[in-house]
Structures are given as C-alpha cells and as structure tokens.
C-alpha cells in the first residue's frame, strides 16, 4: 500500500547575502490514509517549514531546493500556483495557530464556507449553505443556523478556530495540516479543539499532520510521531515507543530519559545547550555538541535514519543494530506494525 503523503529527501533553502541557509535537509517521512502524525521539536527545528512546503505556502525567498512531495502518488511540490490552490482547498486542509489568518474579515463565515464547498464539490449554492450549517454544528458552534451569517470578529478565539476547522474540512480533504492549532487559544479550550480535530478527522478518515510543542497532545492524539532537530528528522516511530523507548538521545532528552539499546529508559536531567542556528550547524550529527553518548564519528559523519526497534533514528548508536540480522524472538522488523508496512521510504 502506498502512503497518502510522501515527503522524500526534502530540502528547503533560504538564499541570503551571506550565502545559502539550509533550513530543511533531507527530510523524509510518510503519512498513511487516516493516520495522525505528530511533529515535535524545539522552536526553529523546521516543523512549520515542513508543513508549509506540503501545503504549497512556503514564503519566498524560501524554496524547495531538492526532494519531492507526493499526495496519493502524485507529485505536488512542482505544481503551478493555480493547480496547487485547488489541491490546497480540495485535498489538503490547513489549520494555523491564528484562526484569523485563515478567515477573511470582510465575509460572513457562512459565505466563506459555502464558497469553499461550491468551488470544490459538486453542490449548488443553497446545498452548500445547508452543508455549511451542518459543518458549523458538527464543529460544536451553538445556534449554527444563526451564527452562519456572522462575521469572524463576532466569534471568540475558540469558536473561530472551530470555524477554521469546519473550513479546513469543508471540501472533504484527505489530509489536514494543523500547525500549532491551539497555541493562540485559551488554555481551557485547547483540549476541546484538539479533541474536535481528532474526532472529526477520525469520523471522516482524514489524515492529520499535527505540529505541536505539546507532548501530552501528541501522546493523546497521534499514531506516530516525528521528532525534528535542526532541520532534520531525528526520530520517527509509533507514538508509545517514541515516548517510552526513545532511540535518539535528543528524543530521550525531550522525554527526560536516557535511551539504551535494549529499549529501557532511565530518568535524566535536561539537555544542556541549545539547538544550533542554521548558519552554524556542526558537521556530522547536528546534535553532537549536546550529546552525552557521542562517538568519534559523530563529529564527522551525518547519520541517516536507521532502524531502531520499532522506530527509525538518525543516530550512529543504531548502526550495529541496523546491520545485524534480527533474532527470531527480537523486536519486529522496523517497519512492521507501522501503518506503512515494511520497506516504507523511511528505511531508504
């Protein structure tokens, strides 16, 4: 089975007067139909750029310099703007941190919803309006039939984000990219919004790429999680394994524990230091200056994602494991049990 979304060796660059900054370097992962992939990592790790590349909203001068992005087997990273706009409405929905970036202040929410529906689905204007009322009701907006004629500023922040979720799902996309969808909202309603996104996507079989700083949200919501560091994927795997048996020392630090090859984690203090700037990424493993388990080669050779238990980790500690034949009683083949099945692109 091929993945719904495949990101292959994605490289994003920013040309500057002092040379080219490489913000995403060789990022590869996939999302299966209906799956929720969480994406975590500290500020500047490249989470939003990855999302923006997928939905075709990378802001110049940022540009995709290498790699490809496929949706249902079709390349979407090189489409003309007009075609990409159609993909964005119809096949990929987007939810951003600030609901106001997705809503036009000059139009009622009903008009915006109905417009999206008639543009992408085979419906008349009056059918679309009825569907818009349904969508608002499904997203938990009380008195949807009246509220549909209100303008975005007449809604509270949380209600506005519900409208944005309704808008993102209006054309029944296969994938929703949600970038910190609750960060701008009141803490008391964050969980409700995540719960709503999760429920609606599950009901519709929509896959989600959920970018968040909140490991609690990931633990509750995601099937798999990708941990990003300095523009690369450091680790990717089933959410329970990444949380409880982190295989990359950076992930282990994030989870407050030390990894060991047998998968047992011990408690640990925080990670010293900070993530490098784009113009100062060290050679070898980008994490090496902060890594307590650094090997000699870590300062010279950059590790690719290697099989590590049920996950993949870009860390030389797993080289021996990756090369060794697997014992019959040992852990499953890396990709087994993952939605991608074995031989997905992460092992490439």
Ligand X SMILES: Nc1ncnc2c1ncn2[C@@H]1O[C@H](COP(=O)(O)OP(=O)(O)OP(=O)(O)O)[C@@H](O)[C@H]1O
Q: Looking only at residues 256 through 295 of this chain, which bind ligand X when binding is defined by CB under 6 A?
A: 278
Nearer to Mg ion among residue 212 and residue 344 (C-beta)? 212
Contact 278, 197 (CB under 8 A): no
Nearer to ligand X among residue 3 and residue 228 (C-beta)? 228
Distance CA 326, CA 330 (A): 6
Around Cβ 257, how many Cβ atoms within 10 Å?
18
Distance CA 333, CA 295 (A): 26
14 binds, among Mg ion, ligand SF4, ligand X, none (CB under 5 to 8 A by kind): ligand X
User: Cβ neighbours of residue 137 under 8 Å, at least 6 residues apart?
Assistant: 144
Q: Looking only at residues 46 through 65 of this chain, which bind Mg ion when binding is defined by CB under 5 A?
A: 48
User: Cβ neighbours of residue 317 under 8 Å, at least 6 residues apart?
Assistant: 247, 249, 259, 261, 293, 295, 308
Contact 244, 267 (CB under 8 A): no
Counting Cα atoms < 13 Å in the Cβ hemisphere of 299 gives: 7
Least distance in Å: CB of 331 to ligand X? 30
Nearer to ligand X among residue 5 and residue 118 (C-beta)? 5
Nearer to Mg ion among residue 167 and residue 177 (C-beta)? 177
Binding mask 243-282 for ligand SF4 (x = CB under 6 A): -----xx---------------------------------
Binding mask 284-323 for ligand SF4 (x = CB under 6 A): -x-xx--x-xxx--x----x-----------xxx------
Distance CA 72, CA 207 (A): 12
Least distance in Å: CB of 148 to Mg ion? 31
233 binds ligand X (CB under 6 A): no
Q: Looking only at residues 18 through 37 of this chain, which bind ligand X when binding is defined by CB under 6 A?
A: 21, 23
Structure-token match 């993909």, residue found: 87
44 binds, among ligand SF4, Mg ion, ligand X, none (CB under 5 to 8 A by kind): ligand X
Distance CA 22, CA 231 (A): 8
Nearer to ligand SF4 among residue 111 and residue 293 (C-beta)? 293
Structure-token match 């509220």, residue found: 147
Distance CA 123, CA 306 (A): 48
Answer for which of 3, 5, 8, 14 binds ligand X (CB under 6 A) is 14
CA neighbor of 13 nearest in space, from 225, 278, 198, 218 = 278
Contact residues for ligand SF4 (CB under 6 A)? Answer: 248-249, 285, 287-288, 291, 293-295, 298, 303, 315-317
Contact residues for Mg ion (CB under 5 A)? Answer: 48
Contact residues for ligand X (CB under 6 A)? Answer: 14, 21, 23, 41, 43-49, 62, 278
């Amino acid at each position: 089975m091929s993945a719904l979304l495949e990101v292959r060796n994605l490289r994003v660059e920013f040309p500057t007067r002092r040379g080219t900054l490489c913000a995403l370097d060789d990022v590869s992962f996939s999302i299966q139909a209906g799956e929720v992939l969480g994406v975590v990592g500290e500020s500047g790790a490249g989470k939003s750029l990855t999302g923006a590349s997928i939905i075709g909203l990378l802001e110049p001068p940022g540009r995709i310099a290498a790699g490809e992005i496929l949706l249902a087997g079709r390349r979407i990273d090189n489409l003309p703007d007009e075609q990409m706009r159609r993909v964005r409405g119809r096949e990929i929905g987007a939810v951003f941190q600030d609901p106001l970036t997705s809503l036009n202040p000059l139009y009622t929410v009903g008009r915006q919803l109905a417009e999206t529906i008639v543009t992408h689905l085979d419906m008349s204007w009056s059918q679309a309006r009825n569907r818009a009322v349904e969508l608002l009701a499904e997203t938990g907006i009380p008195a949807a039939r009246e509220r549909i004629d209100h303008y975005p500023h007449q809604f509270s922040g949380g209600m506005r984000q519900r409208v944005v979720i309704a808008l993102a799902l209006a054309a029944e996309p296969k994938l929703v990219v949600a970038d910190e969808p609750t960060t701008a909202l009141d803490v008391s309603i964050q969980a409700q919004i995540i719960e709503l996104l999760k429920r609606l996507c599950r009901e519709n079989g929509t896959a989600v790429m959920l970018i968040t700083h909140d490991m609690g949200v990931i633990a509750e919501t995601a099937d798999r999680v990708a941990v990003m560091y300095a523009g690369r994927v450091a680790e990717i795997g089933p959410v329970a394994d990444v949380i409880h048996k982190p295989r990359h020392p950076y992930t282990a630090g994030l989870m407050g524990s030390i990894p060991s090859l047998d998968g047992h984690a011990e408690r640990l203090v925080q990670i010293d230091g900070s993530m490098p700037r784009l113009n100062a990424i060290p050679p070898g493993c980008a994490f090496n200056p902060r890594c307590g388990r650094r090997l000699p080669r870590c300062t010279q050779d950059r590790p690719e994602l290697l099989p590590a238990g049920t996950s993949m980790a870009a860390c030389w500690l797993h080289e021996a494991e990756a090369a060794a034949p697997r014992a019959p009683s040992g852990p499953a083949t890396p990709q087994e049990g993952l939605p991608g099945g074995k031989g997905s692109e992460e092992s490439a």
